[in-house]
Structure 1
Amino acid sequence: MGLTGEWRSLSATQRNTFLACFLGWTLDAFDYFLLTLCLSAIAADFHVGIKAVAEATFWTLAMRPVGAFLFGLMAERYGRRPTLMLNIVSFSAFGLASAFAPTIGSFMVWRGLFGLAMGGEWGVGAALAFETLPVGGRGLFSGLLQEGYVVGSFLAAALYWLLFPHLHGTGIFVPWRVMFMLGALPALLALYLRFKVEESPVWLASREQRIAKGTSLRASFDWKSVLQYLPSFLFLVVLMTAFNSFSHGTQDMYPTFLQRDHGLSPAHVGLLVMIGNIGALAGGIAWGWASERLGRKGAIIGAALLALPMIPLWAWSHSVVLLGVGGFLMQFMVQGAWGIIPAHLNELSPGPVRAIFPGFAYQLGNLLASRNNVFQVMLAGRFSGGMLKPVMSATVLVVALAVAGITALGRQATGVEFSGD
């Protein structure tokens, strides 16, 4: 059954829930990628180097594990839906505050708080979605859900391409600040969640079980029993460190790479980022669908290894057309592997901590990979005269092999039934 057939097979409740979770992740990523596109403009406005502004991405990524844990804990105790509503309003407010930061220091603070809120969205949204969706087609919807991140990046690139070159304001209306003001629009999604989305049936069943047993609703799981899950959790952290290095290593410095190494204009940069995101969206859906037949592990390994032959075309081409083809194919593989992760992590996570484990492991992996862009700039300055081509090529080589190897060591849990137990 294809995507259209799977979508039609869902109930109205399942469709609304999936759409809300998809849009939450999309708009979260939209705000994050506005920063990567505006690095040079922000550096010029604050009169600092690009490396100094790149530290803002570190603080965003560094605070995401804290947010994943706190919002995940709230979701286990008080429900997925109200936690997700609070989460979306929070990251929208902090994103808007970034637009009015008077100094680079205050900008760092607001981006760190944005990371706190951003960190909670993925885990809580994925738990709500997959505890509501049917088991059949989980891989396909996993690919589509994860690619909300790509759609967010695409929207940010489209806005940058269409609007940024035409903005000429001053003061608080300089172009990058206007872009961040527009990034506050996701707060409206909370209204959709309030009126169109229902609570996770798995969480509701778990609550009824706790009531029947006389267990406090505030104690949604036994902290001591969590220790038995520690080996599985640590494995997920290592896996997600490799995955985050894979995505951030090919995305965060990509606009700067196109500007510096290839001398492209903002319009061409925005267009190429959009093309890469189209490839990512197609890859996520295609490899997610393939994971129903190849298994989650087989599909991840296949996508990661197929990224290796794309390196020359992606980084070393000499025309905009070939760079576009390379960008499409690279992100087809990178985000193709990523598309399987929402289902894979939720299937590997125990029921009592499903709102915490996937998101917390994901964001800890983000933290461990958060210095990636700073290291890439530093290594390029030391070994290649500032050119990012060799460094970004080596990044893909190393992390693609790491993703494939670590995935192979894990277990397969394709299609496991979810419960609160």
Structure 2
Amino acid sequence: MDVLSHLRALNGDQRNAFIACFLGWTLDAFDYFILVFVVQSIAKDFQVGVPAVTIAITLTLAFRPVGALIFGLIADRFGRRPALMIDVIFYSLMELLSGFAPSLTALLVLRALFGIAMGGEWGVGASLAMESIPERSRGFFSGVLQSGYVIGYLLAAVVFAVAYPYVGWRGMFFIGSIPALLAVFLRLGVKESPAWRQAQERGRASTGNIWHAIIHRFPLFLYLVVLMTAFQFMSHGTQDLYPTFLQAQHKLTPQVTGTIAIIYNIGALLGCVLFGTLSQKIGRRRAIIIAQVLALLITPLWAFSSTVLMLTIGAFLMQFMVQGAFGVIPAHLNELSPAEVRGTFPGLTYQLGNLIAAANATI
């Protein structure tokens, strides 16, 4: 992979736009994954069972389509940049308030609201990034962009391993509120998507276009929702409760759990970039299928190993393949979506998949 040639292909405006979207998705994922590391601690503090706390994960996923629709409509009507700024501030505020939750009920409400913000970030950020990137480099940067989700998980694992013993689960959420600072960078350093500006000039930026696009492209819309449902089951099914699995079933300490999470997220990061770049050469669908078939073959090692070493190897390989397949998705969804509703269409189909797969953790 000629990484430097891809980086040199970007001008300053394109680079700033991509960095902002990458950081937004990274920090959004960081805020989401903080919860998966502290499920047991929250259950103990509120004197409830672990399944009761996993409802918070379900609500976050279930409310993401609401955010995708709201912030997508804002992005298509008023521009990608202002929608992304509002979204980042909103999810940072919900993360901060989560640390002050006086009861499990309050926490569930706050995580549902956080889900709205999280749902808005991916679609708007992916459209701004992909619309700003040269076509020949889109596969590479698709993988890098989706790897922001992985890096967010990695950051959460590092913070959990290092800070959790000192700050507890509430302090973890306080740390997660820091991304609000990203809004300053978005305001000062990022220009609006050139594709959105062109649509605005042609008079095609209208909130009503999304319904027209869904009705007239319903087979495509349905296909993408079903596709993303399968992807979300695959991703969340291998990630969200894996730290709890390591702690509850294998009795591993937070430090060991955090270390294994760091290692398998390095695998996920490498997979995202590799398969995203590979998709530029062999096609999006073929790259996705290769990664998914390999993930199936790795499942026994990942799920049924009994030693720390083998669990770590299985988790590394599983996330390399699962997130490798996901690394193709930002480019794939944006290329399949109608240009005039690209702020809404990819994010809405992506998050409706999340809605259908939302009960994954609780199940």
Q: Which category describes the TM-score, using the shorter chain as reference length?
A: over 0.9
Distance in 1, matches of 2:142 and 2:343, equals 16
The partner residue of 1:339 within 308, 324, 327 is 327
**Preserved contact between residue 139 and residue 291 of structure 1 (Cα < 8 Å):** yes
Match of 2:341 among 334, 337, 353: 353
Separation in 2 of the partners of 1:129 and 1:56?
30
* Map of 2:87 onto structure 1: 87
The structure with the largest alpha-carbon Rg is: 1
Q: 1:310 to 1:36 in 2, by over 3 A?
A: same
Deviations 1:377-403 (A, max 9, x none): xxxxxxxxxxxxxxxxxxxxxxxxxxx
1:248 maps to 236
Equivalent-residue separation in structure 1 for 2:260 and 2:330 (angstroms): 27
Match of 2:195?
202
CA change 1:225–1:238 in 2 (3 A) is: closer
Secondary structure of 2:283's counterpart equals helix
Q: For residues 192-271 of structure 1, what are the structure 2 equivalents within 5 Å?
A: 192-210=185-203, 221=209, 223-224=211-212, 226-271=214-259
Opposite residue 177 of structure 2, the aligned amino acid is A
Matched AA of 1:99: G
TM-aligned CA deviation for residue 312 of structure 1: 2.4
The CA deviation at 1:259 is 1.1
* One-letter amino acid matched to 2:183: A
Deviations 1:53-95 (A, max 9, x none): 0000111111100000010001000000000000000000011
Mapped to 1, the partners of 2:362 and 2:237 lie a distance apart of 10
Give 1:186's aligned residue. 179
Name the CA distance, whole Å, in 2 between partners of 1:313 and 1:166: 34
Q: Supply the distance in 2 between the matched residues of 1:335 and 1:314 (Cα, whole angstroms).
A: 15
Equivalent position to 1:318, from 306, 317, 331 = 306
Are the aligned partners of 2:6 and 2:137 in contact in 1 as well (CA < 8 Å)?
A: yes
Amino acid corresponding to residue 154 of structure 1 in structure 2: L
Structure 1 outlier segments of 4+, above 3 Å: 217-220, 222-226
3-state DSSP of counterpart to 1:307: helix
Distance 2:339 2:6 in 1: 25
**1:73 aligned residue:** 73
Give the AA of the match of 1:162. V
Structure 1: gaps spanning 5 or more residues = 168-174, 376-421
Equivalent position amino acid for 2:194 in 1: P
Q: Deviations over 1:12-53 (max 9, x none)?
A: 111111000000000000010000000000111111110000
Contact 2:213 2:341 in 1 (8 A): no
Structure 2, unaligned runs of 5 or more: none
What does residue range 42-57 of structure 1 map to in structure 2 within 5 Å?
42-57=42-57
Structure 2: how far apart are the matches of 1:223 and 1:238? 19
Structure 2 residue identity aligned to 1:329? L
SS of equivalent residue, structure 1 residue 123: helix
CA distance in 2, matches of 1:354, 1:245: 24
CA distance in 2: counterparts of 1:105 and 1:22, whole angstroms: 32
C-alpha contact (below 8 Å) 2:213/2:338 kept by paired residues: no
Counterpart-to-counterpart distance in 2, 1:44 and 1:262: 19
Q: How many residues are aligned here?
A: 363
Identity score, percent: 54
CA distance in structure 2 between the aligned counterparts of 1:9 and 1:220, rounded to whole angstroms: 35
Deviation of the 1:132 alpha carbon: 0.7
Equivalence for 1:171? none
Distance 1:222 1:181 in 2: 36
Compared CA separation, residues 323 and 121, structure 1 to 2 (3 A): same
Q: Which residue of 1 aligns with 2:30?
A: 30
Residue of structure 2 in register with 1:140 after alignment: 140
CA–CA separation in structure 1 for the residues paired with 2:210 and 2:293 = 40
1:280 Cα offset (Å): 0.2
Give the Cα–Cα distance (whole angstroms) in 2 for the partners of residues 162 and 139 of structure 1: 34
Greater shift, 334-343 or 308-317, is seen at: 308-317
Deviation at residue 226 of structure 1 after TM alignment: 4.0
Q: Is the 8 A contact 2:81 2:186 kept in 1?
A: yes
For 2:157, the equivalent position in structure 1 comes to 157
* Structure-1 separation of matches of 2:208 and 2:63: 24
Aligned equivalents of 2:210, 2:306: Cα separation in 1: 58
- 2:9 touches 2:134 (CA, 8 Å); kept in 1? no
3-state SS of paired residue (1:119): helix
Which of 266, 280, 283 is the equivalent residue of 1:278?
266
What is residue 371 of structure 1 aligned with on the other side?
Answer: 359
What is the TM-score with the length of structure 1 in the denominator? 0.84
Change (3 A) 1:265 1:276: same
| Corresponding position of 1:416 | none
Distance 1:205 1:220 in 2: 18
Q: TM-score, normalised by structure 2?
A: 0.98
Q: Could you tell me how far 1:294 is from its partner in structure 2?
A: 1.3
Contact 2:267 2:316 (C-alpha < 8 Å) held by counterparts: yes
